[in-house]
Amino acid sequence: MNLALFDFDGTITRGDTFTPFLRFAIQPSRAVWSGLLISPVLIAHRLRLVSTTSTRPIVARAGFRGVPADGVRALGQRYAAEVLPSVLEAQAMERLEWHRRQGDTVVVVSAGLDVYLGPWCAAHGVQLICTELEEQRGRMTGEYRRGDCSGPIKAALIRETFDLDRFENVYAYGDTPEDREMLALANRKFYRWKEIDDCEQAD
């Protein structure tokens, strides 16, 4: 049996789904004041002074802290059903289905949020490792349960979930340097849909 690891944003989809979900799920009034509150971080990110990996948790905290969890999860289900189908890459979906037909274990591994990736993966019959929003007493804390699922954390969560030695082949598909550690776990690495031998090519 083989294991197939797919990044989501920019690999299965055309571009980012995290930021559009924030626009979809966060009330406009909250978006305005939270945007003002974290504007220095957003400006620093645009200037490439702060990484995307560091920015995402700050934006999520500002957007979701104290918000009823049921409401966020309901919006995640809507986003998965109404928005994500329009941004899927046909090539990616064909490859994902090819792996499923082979009987491979197929996993989306993403820094995207569980509230919308969970419903999407369930609908497509694939497993999920991703960034998980923390919930306490029915409300979102705005924090991540296990960190931002990118870079070294992405690889660590894969190893935590699977014994890679059990698989004949490990395929990995990514599109940014955030996927390098995941690609390094695989003996079949695909970066922006081209097979590569060395993770140094993923830059």
Give the tens place of pLDDT for each residue, 147-197: 999 999 999 999 999 999 999 999 999 999 999 999 999 999 999 999 998
Q: Partners of 131 in the beta sheet?
A: 113
The residue ranges of every structural domain in the chain are 2-201
Q: How confident is the model at residue 201 (pLDDT cuts 50, 70, 90)?
A: low
Q: Of 105 and 48, which is predicted with more confidence? A: 105
Per-residue pLDDT, 36? 46
Q: How far is CA 186 from CA 73, 164, 177, in A?
A: 32, 9, 15
d(CA 57, CA 60): 5
Q: pLDDT tens, 40-77?
A: 545 655 757 666 787 787 888 888 999 999 999 999 99
Residues 111 and 53: beta-carbon distance below 8 Å: yes
Q: How confident is the model at residue 124 (pLDDT cuts 50, 70, 90)?
A: very high
Per-residue pLDDT, 87? 98
Per-residue pLDDT, 115? 98
Per-residue pLDDT, 31? 54
Per-residue pLDDT, 96? 97
Residues 135 and 141: beta-carbon distance below 8 Å: yes
Q: How far is CA 80 from CA 21, 129, 157, in A?
A: 9, 16, 23
Residues 144 and 132: beta-carbon distance below 8 Å: yes
DSSP 140-178: EEEEESS--SSHHHHHHHHHHH--GGG-SEEEEEE-SGG
Per-residue pLDDT, 29? 60
19, 20, 26, 30 alpha-carbon torsion, rounded to 10°: 60
- Secondary structure element (H or E) that encloses residue 128, with its range: strand 127-131
Per-residue pLDDT, 151? 96
Per-residue pLDDT, 39? 47
d(CA 183, CA 170): 9
Per-residue pLDDT, 202? 63
Helices and strands in the chain: count of H runs, count of E runs: 9, 8
Q: What is the CATH number of domain 2-201?
A: 3.40.50.1000
Q: How confident is the model at residue 198 (pLDDT cuts 50, 70, 90)?
A: confident
